[in-house]
């Protein structure tokens, strides 16, 4: 066998592909579902926290900042292990799904809170004052004037951060969530072939590459506007 053929045989074995195809697709749906749930929960809670922070209540802001700092500093895998293996010891049992969802949503919430907050602060003070001068209430100003602008500014970072965090659903493998990587690596050990790993990698690329490109596009559009 020459080199290329051997390579194809190892990483793109057609027999293996046809056999494990359904498992990988099943994993793809799991990853997709988790990703959507995490993005929605994470970004909404991040937004909510950023808005609460606008209220300027001292102790509350302290809590929010601590929350954001801690969840940005902790490696998600550490949290996953604590929640999955530690909590049953005190009588709380979450499913592997729930642990993965909770951890990644909280991480995304922390990051998106910071991103939204940076966006809100970047909106010109004059906008606040102008709107307040028209007799609008703070909350109205926030929702109708400030947030839309902050949102636009936050879009590129938010997209990139969401991709980075939803990619971490692959960590579910460690606690047995049947997502793409889990399916791929168990297929790999059953079949004794590297092909399922290739399939897994390709599944991730099919899922995330469009968003990576979207993020790049959003970013370039922002730069273009600024100049």
Among 168, 175, 177, 187, indicate the residue that binds another protein (CB under 8 A): 168
Is the CB of residue 198 less than 8 Å from the CB of residue 10?
no
First to last CA, the chain: 56
102 scored as a contact of another protein (CB under 8 A): no
List helix spans (H) across the chain: 3-11, 14-54, 58-73, 76-81, 96-122, 125-133, 138-141, 147-166, 172-175, 180-191, 195-226
219 scored as a contact of another protein (CB under 8 A): yes
CA distance to 57, 74, 90, per residue, from 94 (Å): 33, 20, 12
In this complex, which beta carbon is closest to another protein, that of residue 22 or of residue 86? 86
Query: Angle between the 3-11 and 195-226 helix axes, to the nearest 10 degrees?
Result: 90
Among 1, 2, 56, 89, indicate the residue that binds another protein (CB under 8 A): 89
214 scored as a contact of another protein (CB under 8 A): no
14 scored as a contact of another protein (CB under 8 A): no
Cα torsion 135, 141, 144, 150: sign: positive
Q: Tell me how far the alpha carbon of residue 127 is from its chain's centroid.
A: 31
Stretch that binds another protein, among 15-23, 34-42, 78-86, 97-105 (CB under 8 A): 78-86
| Shortest distance in whole angstroms from residue 211 CB to another protein | 8
In this complex, which beta carbon is closest to another protein, that of residue 78 or of residue 130? 78
124 scored as a contact of another protein (CB under 8 A): no
Is the CB of residue 151 less than 8 Å from the CB of residue 141?
no
Among 28, 109, 181, 187, indicate the residue that binds another protein (CB under 8 A): 181
141 scored as a contact of another protein (CB under 8 A): no
| Shortest distance in whole angstroms from residue 73 CB to another protein | 4
**In this structure, what token pair is assigned to residue 126?**
């004059």
- Give the whole-angstrom CA distance, residue 182 versus residue 185: 5
Number of residues that bind another protein (CB under 8 A): 56
Could you list the residues that contact another protein (CB under 8 A)? 6-7, 10-11, 69-70, 72-79, 81-82, 85-86, 89-91, 114, 118, 121-122, 163-164, 167-171, 173-174, 180-181, 184-185, 188, 193-194, 197-198, 200-201, 204-205, 207-209, 211-213, 216, 219, 223
């Amino acid at each position: 066998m020459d080199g290329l053929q051997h390579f194809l045989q190892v990483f793109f074995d057609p027999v293996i592909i046809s056999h494990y195809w359904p498992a990988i697709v099943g994993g793809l749906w799991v990853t997709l579902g988790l990703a959507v749930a995490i993005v929605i929960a994470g970004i909404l809670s991040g937004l909510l926290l950023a808005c609460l922070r606008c209220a300027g209540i001292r102790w509350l802001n302290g809590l929010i900042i601590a929350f954001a700092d801690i969840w940005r500093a902790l490696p998600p895998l550490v949290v996953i292990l604590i929640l999955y293996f530690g909590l049953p010891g005190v009588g709380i049992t979450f499913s592997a799904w729930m642990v993965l969802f909770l951890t990644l949503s909280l991480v995304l919430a922390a990051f998106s809170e910071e991103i939204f907050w940076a966006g809100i602060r970047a909106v010109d003070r004059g906008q606040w004052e102008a709107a307040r001068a028209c007799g609008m209430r703070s909350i109205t100003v926030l929702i109708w004037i400030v947030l839309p602008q902050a949102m636009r500014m936050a879009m590129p970072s938010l997209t990139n951060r969401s991709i980075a965090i939803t990619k971490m659903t692959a960590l579910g493998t460690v606690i047995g969530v049947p997502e793409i990587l889990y399916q791929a690596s168990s297929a790999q050990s059953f079949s004794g072939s590297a092909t399922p790993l290739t399939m897994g990698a390709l599944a991730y690329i099919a899922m995330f590459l469009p968003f990576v490109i979207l993020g790049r596009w959003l970013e370039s559009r922002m730069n273009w506007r600024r100049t």
